[in-house]
Structure 1
């Protein structure tokens, strides 16, 4: 057994390597699970409901994120080596694809158990921001999802730890630590939802739609700095989806404010 064989590897056990990429993604997922489970318990639901939900969601979300990434990079990355599609530990998860598949699965899961979708969304989606914030550190350890070139002086002006600055030196130049920008942005978004929206929430669904508003804003601006965006012609797909998320979030918040169920009127069946 050998720990930290290289920057991207957590531990090597014989021929098996466990990458930091996997460690931080799973850590984020379990934090989101714990936050969601805590909220479900507060609402009066059996915490086992979320246990049944979580593991399938994690699997389905990773598949969706991988498929989304492969679709837009197949000709450049995988056409000459299709088996690499299955090497998820090498990186290449597009979170927006995971969100789509996760939402579809969640809708049917909670419908089957007679739990209002927006109630579940309010309980779960804030924690997803923490999962995403953790997951971006996986990109850091894989030296991927970085931004355009910057000077060492610029990075020093951000007062970053040396280990981040040193590992932003990639292919002969320093780069924007876009993984860090998005990670911090997602944490701020989480805090805004928990301490502002949840505190003053009068209608069910405001936290759920707030996720799409805040994440849409964060991802749109961070994506504009990246050099590895998934493209659809001249369009950065993540920015396009971020605009859609933002619009859906705003429309959703307005709708639930005007016609949604009030928090005090909701009762667990």
Structure 2
């Protein structure tokens, strides 16, 4: 089932047209890779989905219903979570503190319910088969890059998100840590979440994605099933925006 649909989305910043008539789908239980060169519009598109930018044209639908996203809180209430490249984690807090940051559980005595939060954090990590984080009471400052990424992804799962957008989750990670994060991305989709993976790493994209959407200068060059393309074709879409010469479908949901 298609959880997220964008139809004809446009966004301008003054005279600069950042997005033009963009169509995009992300289905529940699948990883949809969003690729494109620097300046293609990926960050703007993600911020529109996350309620950071208001769209100027088109429509955003969640589970088939048109939605008006005026701020990030609107997106969060609809089950949209973004794991930004900088992860937005607090080094001085432990994993539990970060996972519940701004959404802390309170006891009847109006104190922090540390036991309940710790238990929920452990259950969330266990549900994702995470074994790389030794303790949810570790300070984030002591975690490796892969462990930090895991904590950020688990935070999005904790709030029963329908749509999770991961912005370059393997950037600056080593080979082993990258494998761990990609495995976690796959498990997240297997839980029925619609995962959007924003990445420049073609190896990661081709390994974990179910479909690939390529932006070129603010327009959607093509969105196609992963099985329909190879790395050369994806790079061609990213660098030229041409899909017809490759024999690829240009309409979302079409097949060759």
Greater helix share, structure number: 1
Structure ranking higher in strand proportion: 2
Task: Give me the TM-score of the superposition, normalised by structure 2.
Answer: 0.25
Q: Which one has the largest radius of gyration? A: 1
Q: Which has the higher contact order (CA 8 A, sep 6+)?
A: 2
